[in-house]
Structure formats: structure tokens, C-alpha cells
Amino acid sequence: MVHDAPAMATSAALPPVRRSWRPWLIRGVSLVVVLGTWEILGRRLDPVFLASPSAIVAAAYGLVVRSREFQNAIIESMTSMVTGYGLASGVGIMVGFSMGRWRTVELALDPYVTALYATPRVALIPLLILWFGIAFELRVAVVFLSSVFPIIINTIAGVKHVDEDLLETARAFAATQAQTLRTVILPSSLPFIFAGLRVGLAAGIIGVIVAEMTAAVSGLGALIMKFGNLFQTAQLFVPIVAIALISVLMTWAIKLLEQVLTPWHRPE
Amino acid sequence: MLEVSGIRKTFVQGRVATEVIRGISLTVADGEFVSLIGPSGCGKTTLLKIVAGLLPPTAGQVALDGKPSLAPSRQKAFVFQHFNLFPWRTVLDNAVYALELDGVDTRTRAERARGLLQGVGLAGFEQYYPAQISGGMRQRVGLVRALLLNPRVLLMDEPFGALDALTREVLQGELLRLLAATPRVSTLFVTHSIDEAIYLSDRILVFSMRPASVVREFAVPLRKPRYEYNWRRDPTVVGLREEIWNLLREAAQHGT
């Protein structure tokens, strides 16, 4: 990040990130040991009880390449996830900002946010089925409700956490309300907003899978239920691994976005 | 010219009223440097914030070139004790903050900042974040941020109080050089340090304990530019230092 650093800045500069092969070696060895043990155990046990990694890979190959059903399931889960989470991010940040900034808005909305945040959102699924049916709209609604509250609550915390001295600085330079919002409050709360986005993402993924398992018509959650009911253990693992991969990819994407948008803020 | 007249300030918290400033009037002419010195907690910073428009006075008026000026304005630049740089802005973006608020475009901003940043030894550090540079460098950015505005008034609240003795002395010299290049600016400078006040000021106002009023005013007769000779050896400094010190000691005892 820092180029041609002159000598006098180094004492106060953040330490450089050390790139080394050692962590990768440890991770690699760990993976080989765990997957190896799993493979050996899996081959000795009843395949209904536990499928071996090689059996799962074979099942995955069959499903991913040949099964329309699996491809559709991934697309359906992903589209509802992205739609619901996208909506939740937009609404959550805006509502959180307003609640953090204006006391009246906070007092008016706080009871609902607190009550709904405390309620496990999956408990609302039967009601949501009555309202939205069992297809796309239901999944979007569940993802939205799962993600939006952590985003709201973290955004509020971020907006309230703004350093009073920096607000005073903006005031001393005669910044307008809008300028203060853009140059102080927004950048200051970004790290909090991203914390909310990460928690909201995890909650949203749980939401979409539970919705699909409950309504059990389509998506990766429905596939999990189907393979479970059919005792096809190797196949059962495929949607689970797919969910884990999607989850990891989306978390990385958020992390990347955070690094781009908050270059001054380096956690750890 | 900056005119401060009849400023009073009483803070009310619940049923307790604390009188902090009891009638202060002062003027700072164009190009003049006036220091406010007094026991800690006496209300110097409160007065400075009232002049900046950050606090409303209970009574009194602040005028700039004859016009009332009780609100914040980019004609009055503030330098803070704890620098108050925005951690998410680079050195350059912090320095040009006020220009950005004025709607000056990115290229013009960078061009206008270049000379001043170079003048305080920050060339090459434009893309650093405040967390990556030393305290002295941060306050240099604070100085550039204030002076880039071409302000009429420079308000400084113990700007070097958080720095080590050596850095402080270097920055005092840099401040005098920068101000020599901006002849119209009126400076109001809050400090705890008698030597700092003597070195930098044309006039020094000694404040009483809370509620603050001006106990006495001193003119500093030292020849300028003061960074070109050893002003500490000047015989007038010794007398001045002792007089101010006695006043401050008396003020502090009165208060307790």
C-alpha cells in the first residue's frame, strides 16, 4: 500500500504484512490428515451413515454435470439469496443511518427492530408462506428478514460511534449537514456497516436454506431434504458443500469490497 | 481585524450554573499574533471555541472586519490540540478538506496544497494515512489544512501541547515562517507555555482563574524574525517571563 517509504515514516507506519508459505503448508497438512482419516473411516462404515470424500466427489460430478435439477437448485438459491440480501443491505443501511442520526426515527422504529431481532426469524416462515407462497418470493422475504436486522443494528452503532471531535472539526470548517454526512459520518461508520453486512450474510444464507427445507419445493435446501429422505448420503453432501462454497465466496466478496472501501482500516 | 467584545459564558447543567467567562474583550489586528495564557481550566479554550463559532456565548459579540461572525466560517481556521485529522483521509485529502468543501476540483486542490506541504516537509507523504505518520507530521497537516483556506483568522488551541519538546520547538519555527508568508491573518493562540507565548506573540493576554477575565496584557518587544537569533538570551525575555509567571501563580492561588 505504501510506496517508496522514506525512512522517517517507518517508526509510525503499520507493520508490513509478511507473506510466507508456512501457513499454507500447515493448512495443507491439516487438510490431508482430516480428509484422509475421513476417507478411511467412510470406506469402512455403512455408506448411508457416512459417505467418503471420494464418494462425495463422484456424486458431485454426477450431479453438477448431468443433473439439471442441481443446476437449477443452485441458480434458484443464489438468485433469491442475492435479491434478498441486496434488498436487506440497501434498506438496512438506510434505516440504520436514519435511526442513528435522528432520535425521532430511532424512538419510532426501535420497538419493532428490537422485537424482530430478538425473534428467531425462521419462526415466521409459516406465516410468510401464507403471505408469499412457497417459491421465490418466500425465499427473498426470509433472506431479507434474516439479514436486515444485523445490518440495521450495526449501522446504528457505527453512526453513533462517530468521534465527537471529528464532528466538531467538520463544524469548525463550516461543513453543511450533507457534507458532514458524506465526509465524516459515512466513512466513520463504514467498518461497522461491513461488520453488519458480514453477520447479515451468514444469517441470510441460513434463512434461504431453512426456507427451502421448510417449503421443500426447490433450491439447495429442498435437495438436502430430498437426498436425506432417500438415504442418498453421498449426494446429500453435495448441496451442503455447495452452500459452504457459496457462503465462503460471498464472504470473500464482502471482505474484498471492505478492503477497497476502507483502505485506512486494517483489522487484526 | 478580529474584534471580540463583552463575551460572557455560563454553562448550565440541570440546576447548576457555572460561570466560565466573565466579560472578555480583545482585538487582533491584521497580521497580529495574540496569545492567551492562563491556569488550566480557566476558559481559554471555551473563548477560542466561541470565536470559532463552535459554542454560542451567553452574551457578547464576535466581529470580523466589522461584520458579526458568531457562526463557523471558512474565514476562521481552527488548529486543534489533538490534530483532529480524519483517519480515513490521506495526508493530501486531509490538507485540502476545506477546499473540497468549497467545491474546488481535485486537480486544483492538489496543486494548491503542493507548495505548503513541501514547505513543512510533507512532500512524498501525500498518500500516507494519519496513522502512518508521527505526531509532529500530523500537526503539520493540521496547520496546512488551516492555512490552505487563506483564512482571515487563525485559531490555535494548544496546537503543540501534545508534542514532545523538540518537535514543539521545530513546529513553532515553522509556524512563524508560514505566518510570515501570510501577512493578513490574525492569530489567536491558546497555550500553557510562557516561553511559547513569548517566542510567538506580538501580545500576550494573561487570564485569571475561572470565571475568566483578562488580568493583564503584555506586548512582546522582541525583534522579528525571531527564529533567526537566540531570543531566549534577550534581557527583556527574562523580565517578561518572571512577570507572567508571578501573575499566573497568583491567579492559580486565587482560584483555589
**How far A145 CA sits from the closest chain B CA (Å)?**
32
Residue recorded with cell 486531509: B94
Between B18 and A7, the more confident residue is B18
Find how far residue A107's CA is from the centre of its chain.
28
Given a cut of 50, is residue B122 above it in pLDDT?
A: yes
Q: What is the pLDDT of residues A16-31, one digit of tens each?
A: 556 688 889 999 999 9
CA gyration radius for chain A? 23
C-alpha grid cell, residue B221? 518587544
Given a cut of 50, is residue A268 above it in pLDDT?
A: no
> Following DSSP, what letter does each residue of B142-164 receive, concatenated?
HHHHHHTT--SEEEEESTTTTS-
Q: Is the peptide bond before B225 cis (omega within 30 degrees of 0)?
A: yes
Q: What is the pLDDT of residues A150-172, one digit of tens each?
A: 999 999 999 999 999 999 999 99
pLDDT at A18: 62
Distance CA B124, CA B118 (A): 9
Which residue on chain B is closest to A191 by alpha carbon?
B88
pLDDT, averaged across chain B = 91
Given a cut of 80, is residue A239 above it in pLDDT?
A: yes
pLDDT at A15: 53
| Minimal Cβ distance to B74: which of A6, A173, A264 | A173
Distance CA A197, CA B197 (A): 51
Q: Do B86 and A174 touch (CB under 8 A)?
A: no
Given a cut of 90, is residue B233 above it in pLDDT?
A: no
User: Which residues in chain A touch residue B78, judged by CB atoms under 8 angstroms apart?
Assistant: 169, 172-173
Distances (CA, A) of A96 to A113, A196, A262, B170: 10, 10, 19, 46
The model's pTM: 0.82
| Secondary structure of residue A158 in the 3-state scheme | helix
Residue range A120-141: mean pLDDT, rounded = 90
Residue range B196-214: mean pLDDT, rounded = 90
| Secondary structure of residue B124 in the 3-state scheme | coil
10 Å Cβ neighbour count for B132? Answer: 20
* % pLDDT > 70, chain B: 99
Q: Do B132 and A14 touch (CB under 8 A)?
A: yes
Residue range B119-129: mean pLDDT, rounded = 91
Distance CA B199, CA B201 (A): 6
User: Which residues in chain A touch residue B128, judged by CB atoms under 8 angstroms apart?
Assistant: 2, 9, 13
Residue range B244-252: mean pLDDT, rounded = 86
Between B228 and A127, the more confident residue is A127
Q: What is the pLDDT of residues B163-187, one digit of tens each?
A: 999 999 999 999 998 998 888 899 9
Interface of A with B (CB under 8 A): 2-4, 6, 8-9, 11-14, 165-166, 168-169, 171-176, 179, 183-184, 187-188, 190, 262-265
| Minimal Cβ distance to B131: which of A11, A190, A264 | A264
- Among B residues 113-132, those touching chain A with beta carbons less than 8 Å apart: 124-125, 127-129, 131-132
Distance CA B130, CA B128 (A): 7
Q: With a threshold of 0.85, tell me whether the complex ipTM lies above it.
A: yes
State residue B22 phi and psi, 5-degree precision: -115, 80
Q: Do A173 and B133 touch (CB under 8 A)?
A: no
Cβ neighbors of A106 (< 8 A, separation 6 or more) are A99, A100, A156
